[in-house]
Copies of this chain bind each other. A is one copy, B any other.
Amino acid sequence: MTNPLVFHFDFSSPYGYLGAEKIEALAHRHGRDVEWHPMLLGVAFKTTGAQPLTMVPLKGDYTKHDVPRSARFHGIALNMPGRFPIATQAPARIVLWQRERHPESCGELVKTLYRAYFVDNRDIGDPDIAADVSAIAGVDREAARAAVDDPVWKDALRREVEAAIAKGVFGSPFVFVDGEPFWGIDRFAQIERWLAEGGF
């Protein structure tokens, strides 16, 4: 029972950001690590027919109200970015590139990128900004910037997203605990009990 928690997220997802801020403490309370999997929700949305939440009538207005309230509820800083949603290929490729070399430092990189977007309103969809921000997390800036345009990491992200959808991932955050799927930060209480009791 030492599998990591498999954490899928999209950098444009505010609930993914809230989840990223909480998942490591949750995992560590139960002797687990976190495996970080950047996702492109837009690709999954083509399968489910979904749209970005904020663009849906009624639900969009609710979501714009619920996101900052949920951040306050969880005690996490959040300022909704001016530009939303954004394309997240650039930070996602940097995370894949870093994960292969230093998986243990991925959490810090993911949280630094997320905070740049959801606290400091920096457009991490821009490859140069994604590289600048990654440098704050201790990553080599130029190497990170090069990874964004490298066909190796473009292809790795394509395969990562395809594999996630094949596993049933359609939202963010989406967590697997020993294969058991949990969608949403709303399910973290269920994850907590699942880890404590080995299922329920």
Interface residues of A (CB under 8 A from B): 44, 47-51, 56-59, 61-62, 65-66, 69-70, 72-73, 165, 168-171, 181, 183-184, 186-187, 189-190, 193, 200
* A57 lies within 8 A of B47 (CB): yes
Task: Give the oligomeric copy count.
Answer: 2
- Given the known interface contacts A48-B57, A49-B57, the answer about A62 and B183 at a Cβ–Cβ threshold of 8 Å is yes
- The complex places the Cα of A131 from the Cα of B54 at a distance, in Å, of 40
Interfacial chain B residues near A73, Cβ < 8 Å? 189-190, 193, 200
- Given the known interface contacts A48-B57, A57-B47, the answer about A62 and B168 at a Cβ–Cβ threshold of 8 Å is yes
Closest to A184 in B: B186
* B186 lies within 8 A of A72 (CB): no
* B189 lies within 8 A of A62 (CB): no
- Given the known interface contacts A73-B193, A193-B73, A200-B73, the answer about A58 and B168 at a Cβ–Cβ threshold of 8 Å is yes
- Given the known interface contacts A58-B170, A61-B168, the answer about A190 and B47 at a Cβ–Cβ threshold of 8 Å is no
- The complex places the Cα of A181 from the Cα of B69 at a distance, in Å, of 11
- The complex places the Cα of A181 from the Cα of B62 at a distance, in Å, of 8
Interfacial chain B residues near A186, Cβ < 8 Å? 184, 186-187
Closest to A169 in B: B58
- The complex places the Cα of A180 from the Cα of B173 at a distance, in Å, of 25
- The complex places the Cα of A105 from the Cα of B62 at a distance, in Å, of 31
In the assembled complex, how far is the CB of residue A168 from the closest CB belonging to chain B, in whole angstroms?
A: 5
